[in-house]
Amino acid sequence: MVHAQELTKNQSLVLDVLSHTEGPLSAYSLLDQLRDKGFRAPLQVYRALDKLMEFGLVHRLESINSFVACTHSHDHKHGVIAFGICDTCGRVDEFCDAVVEERLKGWSKDHAFRLSKTTIEMRGTCANCLAA
Amino acid sequence: MVHAQELTKNQSLVLDVLSHTEGPLSAYSLLDQLRDKGFRAPLQVYRALDKLMEFGLVHRLESINSFVACTHSHDHKHGVIAFGICDTCGRVDEFCDAVVEERLKGWSKDHAFRLSKTTIEMRGTCANCLAA
DNA sequence: ATCATCAATGTAATAACATCACATCGACCT
DNA sequence: AGGTCGATGTGATGTTATTACATTGATGAT
Ligand SMILES: [Zn+2]
Ligand SMILES: [Zn+2]
Ligand SMILES: [Zn+2]
Ligand SMILES: [Zn+2]
């Protein structure tokens, strides 16, 4: 497993902003928030994000072109992850479902499809926003 | 249900290109292919795509910013759709899985999350490309 | 017939997201 | 010292999507 000490300066800075933010951020939002730390170009953010995703510390939300810090403890490896994304407040809930994973892997097996990455994103309105 | 006759000129042109193409196309690829039909601007493509998606005739693949014609017969309404996308040849397989749908709806119910749209995309390598 | 309305369209400009190309730096090893 | 490799800095460029505003054409009401 990867520990915080092994992260480079830029990776730490990006993860720090993501971890202290409620909800997802775009790469350019991250860039803006890191300008006073010396960030000048999008590539600095994208490179850090690539590594953080490789380490499993950050996830990309494909349907909103944004990134979130992983909310799982990292003592274990990620399986297939699903996200519930509130379109009103931006809240993101991350969860795993073994049955879903099994069904999708089953389809892959049946179709001789070598699966490399699975994206599951549910857009909608969270309980808090519904109550308000 | 929507029939072909109800589509406008631009919608028909976009759907026609998508239907006669193996695999997904980006909005700008569509634009390029439709320039000789009078298309000049991205918005013409995006507007047509929005309507076609509303009608359920076209799907957006979030993880590759592209669009495919629906491969289902349209006598029935779409449930949750999953896609298998080959990163080598671009082939896209569309399918529904009632168990997956039930699990994701179950999570939504448990968390009082009002679900509006679900994205499931599996990236990998298809059987043909594995054989080659 | 004339006018209001509304969906679809045309067009230019701009915003938002992502990558390429190339130079530099620093740690590590020989 | 010299070589290698991963990380970084920087500018330019490429790709995807939306905003703003003008125009057209069909429909229905006055
Ligand atoms: Zn996670
Ligand atoms: Zn919310
Ligand atoms: Zn479909
Ligand atoms: Zn393939």
Count of Cβ atoms closer than 10 Å to residue A22 Cβ: 9
Residue A4: predicted pLDDT: 53
Contacts within 8 Å (CB) and 24+ apart, B48-54: B48/B8, B48/B10, B48/B11, B48/B13, B48/B14, B48/B15, B49/B14, B51/B7, B51/B8, B51/B11, B52/B7, B52/B11, B52/B14, B52/B15, B52/B18
Q: Domains of chain B (ranges plus CATH)?
A: 4-69 (1.10.10.10), 81-131 (3.30.1490.190)
C-alpha distances in Å from residue A109, one per residue of A48, B25, B84, B88, B125:
34, 27, 12, 18, 12
Residue B11 distance to chain A (closest CA, Å):
23
Q: Is B100 helix (H, G, I), strand (E, B) or coil?
A: helix
Residue A74: predicted pLDDT: 66
Share of chain A above pLDDT 70, in %: 94
Chain A with chain B: Cβ pairs closer than 8 A: 120
Instruction: For A79-127, write each residue's pLDDT tens digit.
Output: 999 999 999 999 999 999 999 999 999 999 999 999 999 999 999 999 9
A95 Cα to the center of ligand 1, angstroms: 8
Residue A58 has pLDDT above 80, yes or no: yes
Q: Give the C-alpha separation, B1 to A47, whole Å.
A: 46
B37 contact to strand C (CB, 7 A limit): no
- Which residues does nucleic strand D approach, with CB less than 7 A? A 8-11, 38-44, 47-48, 51; B 26-29, 41-43, 46, 65-66
pTM above the 0.85 mark?
yes
Q: Give the C-alpha separation, A16 to A69, whole Å.
A: 9
The Å distance, CA of A9 to C1' of D30, is 72
Contact of A44 with A30, CB cutoff 8 Å: no
B41 contact to strand C (CB, 7 A limit): yes
Residue A75 has pLDDT above 60, yes or no: no
Residue B72: predicted pLDDT: 84
B:77-116 Cβ neighbours of strand C under 7 Å: none
Instruction: Tell me the mean pLDDT per 10 residues along chain B, length 132.
Output: 73 98 97 97 98 96 98 77 97 96 98 98 97 91
The Å distance, CA of A27 to C1' of C18, is 9
Instruction: For B5-35, write each residue's pLDDT tens digit.
Output: 689 999 999 999 999 999 999 999 999 999 9
Q: Give the C-alpha separation, A68 to A83, whole Å.
A: 11
Question: What residues are paired with A51 via a beta bridge?
Answer: none
Residue B113 distance to chain A (closest CA, Å):
5
Return all residues near B40 (Cβ < 8 A) that are at least 6 apart: none
Residue A1: predicted pLDDT: 44
